[in-house]
Amino acid sequence: MLLRRLAEAPGVSGDEGEVRAILREEVEGRAEEIFCDAMGNLYARKGKGKKPRVMLVAHMDEVGLIVTGYEKSGLLRIDKVGGIDNRVLISKPVVVGKDRVPGVIGAKAIHLQKPAERKKAIPLENIFVDIGARSQDEAEKMAKPGDYVSFTAKTVDIGDNCLCGKAFDDRAGCAVLVDVLKEDYDLELTAVFTVQEEVGLRGAGVAAYTVQPDLALVVESTSASDVAGTKEQGHVTKLGGGPAITLMDSSYIAPQTMVNFLVKIAEKLAVPYQFRHLATASTDAGRISQSLEGIMTGVISVPCRYIHSPACIISQEDWHNTVRLVKGVLNAIAEGGLPT
Amino acid sequence: MEIRRFLADICETHGISGYEHNVSALVRAALCRYADEVRQDKMGNVAFYKRGEGEEGKRPRILLSAHMDEIGLMVTKIEEGGFLRFAPVGGIDPRTIVGQEVILFGREAMPGVIGAKPPHLTSEEDREKGHEMETLYIDLALPEQKVRKLVAPGDLAMIKRESLALAGNTFAAKALDDRAGVAVMLCCLRGLEKMRHNADVFAVATVQEEVGVRGATVSAYGIVPDIGIAIDVTHGDMPGVPEHETSQLGKGPAICLGPNIHPKVGAELLRLAKEHRIPHQTEVSPGPTGTDARAIQVTRGGIPAALVSIPLRYMHTSVELADLEDIKQAGRLLAYFIATVDTAFVEGLKCY
């Protein structure tokens, strides 16, 4: 399954090359035109010249770390790329740089901690990547400042038809787009795999400017928080509850026509769906909807537990239903035009 | 078998305190060829006996003791929704297990993930705090009904972690504490194949060290050695810990000194390391050590004890890191020690 492979590839914001290479190979033959822009966004277009012009968007990048320097002992100093809770970094394996040098993020042994210390999260300045180098000299030969550091996690089956792994945000969306491209629709369709979403929606604005779509649909992955100790009102989405439709987040308010349109299609196709019950965080839609003179934009997400960690969980059923809904949207536009 | 391969195998295997049978089987398979006899006691300690060349009834008896158990988690409660609460088996920092994949040993082995309070319900202030064990849970991505069929309180879970070969001879894995010590015993027994020794050797892979050196307590009682040497791990240099409190990786095994160590055995180990140019360092422990040596020393009428340790970074995390060369050198040192011990040395241990 493509999603497994996509999720396993390292692709921290600014270092999307490996993911892009996989996607380029996958869309080859499924689009008439495949190209990249100066930022590294990957475009796959079919039905050029047809009306209306629709853009599908999923981001290739994931959160991670970047090497900023060395300790004399040979440890690598790091900073975060994108929003990661420092607390999930501890006791994890990683890979560093283009050569994928393996390393680990350790922590002071419990035996040496004072009780008060244990109550606090370990601050970033005390978190290092250890590649086993015994000195700064040795470390300099293996890793350079600016090298990206990615979690390593195999994508594995878990529970009832679910997957466990890293970077489903937003490789799940990327895999949806590839699947959608397998079919033809009577419109101009450009699937864009964007870069640098996690560091401030940097790629999407450029993509919107390039494509100039009549309508954009962002396919994302969003937090599922139906977990122990969380009351129902705290559930952003539920795992297995179907694709989630965004109403509002920190950078975007869904046009009511778009919400009604998505709901109508989901109900017609009998695709289970849910609303995303959280008004914070943001997606590429924030940038796209404010591009040019404003672009009609919608967001559909695959629910994901433990997002931005190396052990995320998504439901394969949710993923398949997201594919069905996105295809349904394209078919509806091809047949009945843009939502009004 | 290559040491790296052996270590990878035993570290990746399940062997939480009290449930060491899986790792025990692997250790037995690898070490039995170097032993004249293999014995397992009622608690699960496995002793590999290698006969010495000395006169029957007069051979010194030397015990090597390395624990094969590891820390882990035990399910205490199934929550609504099928989420599992757990208690630690051994010393676990809850801050090191968030966002980890686990293998849960219920009716069958199942993958799971350790979850915590979702970030959008977490304040900026909360993020400064470390996660507490009581707030964490295991998520099997299964409906509650299925969970109740497959899991019961008392089931165990371990962090899922493949071992990693890092720069030079460094090696990262879970449970290097103290499977590294078990690998030292393998190196030592191998070394002895090519050496002559009067003493009888009992290399014991012990159980339940992490919950209070329980295996070593009964194993030392049963074997009645003249000298007992524990092989364990010690804190390697790591960030946030003053240099003088740690040993350095790659600089050889750490020979412990202090009240838990018989002065003559400690001195002999140091002498032999120098004589055979074995890289080594000393470590000072001002009281009973947190190793099998703690139990061995006060067994029966008192047993001269010593401790040889492998420097290890990030102890009790799932990415414990050690240098394989230190393990090999510790094996060499112990083989030389065993080959040197005679009746006179043993008798001298009571002369104060």
Is there a domain that residue B133 lies in? yes
Q: Best of A85, A104, A129, A169 to disrupt the B interface by mutation (most B CBs within 10 Å)? A: A104
B239 and B95 in one domain?
no
Q: Is B238 inside a domain boundary?
A: yes
Domain boundary among B135, B159, B183: B159
Chain A residues whose CB is inside 8 A of the B80 CB are 228
Mean pLDDT to the nearest integer, B275-293: 96
Mind telling me how many Å the CA of A136 is from chain B's nearest CA? 13
Neighbours of A82 (CB within 10 A): 18
What is the Cα–Cα distance from A243 to A323, expressed in whole angstroms? Answer: 9
Q: Are residues B201 and B309 in the same domain?
A: yes
Q: For residue A59, list its beta bridge partners.
A: A194
pLDDT of residue B133: 93
Rounded to whole angstroms, the Cα distance separating A266 from A2 reads: 25
Does B95 touch chain A if contact means CB atoms closer than 8 Å?
yes
**What letter would DSSP give residue B87?**
E
Cα(A156)–Cα(A168) distance, integer angstroms: 12
Domain count within chain A: 2
User: What's the average model confidence in pLDDT over B31-52?
Assistant: 97
Whether B241 contacts chain A with CB within 8 A: yes
For B247, half-sphere exposure in the C-beta direction (CA atoms, 13 angstrom radius) is 28
Res B42 pLDDT > 70:
yes
> Do both B260 and B204 map to the same domain?
yes
Q: Are residues B219 and B280 in the same domain?
A: yes
Is B313 within 8 Å of A130 when comparing Cβ atoms?
yes
Say whether A228 and B92 touch across the interface (CB within 8 A).
no
Query: Would you give the end-to-end CA distance of chain A in angstroms?
Result: 37
Name chain B contacts of A103, Cβ cutoff 8 Å. 166
Query: B250 and A313 in contact by Cβ < 8 A?
Result: no
CA distance B317 to chain A (A): 6
Residues B145 and B217 in one domain: no
Indicate whether B119 pLDDT > 80. Answer: no
| Structure tokens, B257 | 């000194």
Residue B123's pLDDT is: 83
Chain A residues within an 8 Å CB radius of B235: 109, 111-112
> Residue B311: its chain A contacts at CB < 8 A?
none
**Do residue A233 and residue A327 come from a single domain?**
yes
**Which pLDDT band, with edges at 50, 70 and 90, does B128 fall under?**
confident
Tell me if B235 sits within 8 A of B321, measured CB to CB: no
Domain shared by B66 and B77, yes or no: no
Residue A231: pLDDT band with limits 50, 70, 90? confident
Assess whether pLDDT exceeds 70 at residue B1: no
Q: How confident is the model at residue A311 (pLDDT cuts 50, 70, 90)?
A: very high
Give me chain A's average pLDDT, please. 96
Tell me if A172 is assigned to some domain.
Answer: yes
Is B209 considered catalytic here?
A: yes
Residue A59: pLDDT over 90: yes
User: Among partner residues B111, B127, B313, which is closest to A85 by beta-carbon distance?
Assistant: B127
Residue B245 CB-density burial (10 A; 0-12 exposed, 13-18 middle, 19+ buried):
exposed
In the sheet that holds B227-235, the strands lie side by side as: B37-40, B46-50, B200-206, B61-67, B227-235, B305-312, B254-257, B281-284
Residue B240 DSSP SS3: coil
Looking up tokens 């078919």 gives A331
Pair (A261, A145) in one structural domain: no
Given B159, B189, B219, which residue is the final one in a domain? B159
Query: Which CATH number goes with the domain that contains A269?
Result: 3.40.630.10
Q: ipTM above 0.85?
A: yes
The predicted model gives A238-259 an average pLDDT of: 96
Confidence at B272, pLDDT banded by 50, 70, 90: very high
Q: Are residues A242 and A197 in the same domain?
A: yes
Mean pLDDT value across residues B311-334: 98
Structure tokens at A289: 């909807």
Residue A244 has pLDDT above 70, yes or no: yes
Asked if the model's pLDDT at residue A69 lies above 90, the reply is: yes
Is A304 found in the same domain as A182?
yes
For residue B168, is it within any domain? no
Q: B103 — contact with chain A (CB < 8 Å)?
A: no
Distance from CA of B318 to the nearest CA of A (A): 6
Q: Which of A103, A121, A158 sits opposite B166 (nearest CB)?
A: A103
Do B113 and B63 sit in the same domain of this protein?
no
- Of the candidates B117, B313, B319, the beta carbon closest to that of A93 is on B319
| Number of compact structural domains in chain B | 2
Residue A229 has pLDDT above 90, yes or no: no
Whether the CB of A112 is below 8 Å from some CB of chain B: the reply is yes
For residues B33-49, give the mean pLDDT: 97
The partner residue sitting opposite A280, judged by closest CB among B120, B170, B237, is B120
| Preferred mutation among B120, B131, B147 to probe A, highest tally of A CBs within 10 A | B120
Examine the domain organization and report whether A32 and A108 are in the same domain. Answer: no
Q: From the CA of B308, how many Å to the nearest CA of chain A?
A: 19
Residues of B in contact with A71 (CB under 8 A): 239
Tell me what the mean pLDDT of segment B49-66 comes to: 96
For residue B187, give Cα distances in angstroms to A212, A278, B4, B161. Answer: 68, 58, 12, 24
Task: Answer yes or no: is A161 within a domain.
Answer: no
Whether residue B185 sits in one domain with residue B137: no
Cα A88 to Cα B113: distance, rounded to the nearest angstrom = 12
Nearest-Cα distance to chain B for A111, in Å, is 8
Q: Are residues B143 and B290 in the same domain?
A: no
pLDDT confidence of residue B122: 81
Number of Cβ within a 10 Å radius of residue B304? 22
Structural domain of A207 = 2-62+166-336
Is B343 found in the same domain as B247?
yes
Give A104-138 pLDDT, tens digit per residue: 999 999 999 988 888 999 999 999 999 999 999 99
- pLDDT recorded at residue B124: 82
Of B12, B20, B70, B209, the catalytic one is B209
Checking if the pLDDT of B121 tops 90, the result is: no
Query: What value does the mean pLDDT take over residues B181-198?
Result: 97
B317/B293 same-domain check: yes
Mean pLDDT of A4-25: 97
B251: pLDDT strictly greater than 70? yes
Tell which residue, A4, A253, A120, A215, has the closest CA to residue B93: A120
Asked if A322 and A177 count as a contact pair (C-beta separation under 8 A), the reply is no
pTM exceeding 0.80: yes
What is d(CA A298, CA A217) in angstroms, rounded to the nearest whole number? Answer: 5
Would B278 be classed as within a structural domain? yes
B248 is a domain residue? yes
Rounded average pLDDT over A142-150: 96
Task: Read off the pLDDT band of A234 (50, 70, 90).
Answer: confident
Looking at the domain assignment, is residue A170 inside a domain?
Answer: yes
**Predicted pLDDT at B240:** 86
Residues B197-242: pLDDT tens digits?
999 999 999 999 999 999 999 999 999 999 999 999 999 998 888 8
User: Do B130 and A111 make contact, defined as CB atoms within 8 angstroms?
Assistant: no
| A146: confidence class by pLDDT, cuts 50, 70, 90 | very high
Q: Which of B260, B313, B265 is nearest to B284 (CA)?
A: B260
pLDDT more than 90, % of chain B: 93
Which domain, by its residues, includes B273?
3-70+174-348
- Tell whether A155 is covered by a domain: no
In a domain, B295, yes or no: yes
Interface of A with B in 239-278 (CB under 8 A): 239, 278
Q: How far is CA B182 from CA A111, B65, B160, in A?
A: 21, 8, 21
Tell me whether residue B142 is in a domain.
yes
How many angstroms away from the CA of A313 is the closest CA of chain B?
8
Q: Does the residue A70 lie in any domain?
A: yes
> Residue B261 falls within a domain, yes or no?
yes
* Residue B126 pLDDT grade (very low, low, confident, very high; cuts 50, 70, 90): confident
Mean pLDDT of A26-40: 96
Q: What is the 3-state secondary structure (H, E, C) of chain A?
A: CHHHHHHHCCCECCCCHHHHHHHHHHHCCCCCEEEECCCCCEEEEECCCCCCEEEEEEECCECEEEEEEECCCCCEEEEEECCCCHHHCCCEEEEECCCCEEEEECCCCHHHCCHHHHCECCCHHHCEEECCCCCHHHHHHHCCCCCEEEECCCCEEECCCEEEECCHHHHHHHHHHHHHCCCCCCCEEEEEEECCCCCCCHHHHHHHHHHCCCEEEEEEEEECCCCCCCCHHHCCCCCCCCCEECCEECCEECCHHHHHHHHHHHHHHCCCCEECCCCCCCCHHHHHCCCCCCCEEEEEEEEEECCCCCCEEEEHHHHHHHHHHHHHHHHHHHHHCCCC
Among the listed ranges A113-127, B64-78, B87-101, which one has the minimum average pLDDT value? A113-127
Tokens (6 digits) for A157: 């089956």
- Verify that A41 and A70 share a domain, yes or no: no
Binning pLDDT at 50, 70 and 90, where does residue A268 land? very high
Q: Report CB contact under 8 Å: B141, A313.
A: yes
- Look up the CATH number of the domain holding residue B240: 3.40.630.10
The arithmetic mean of pLDDT across residues B172-179, rounded, is 98
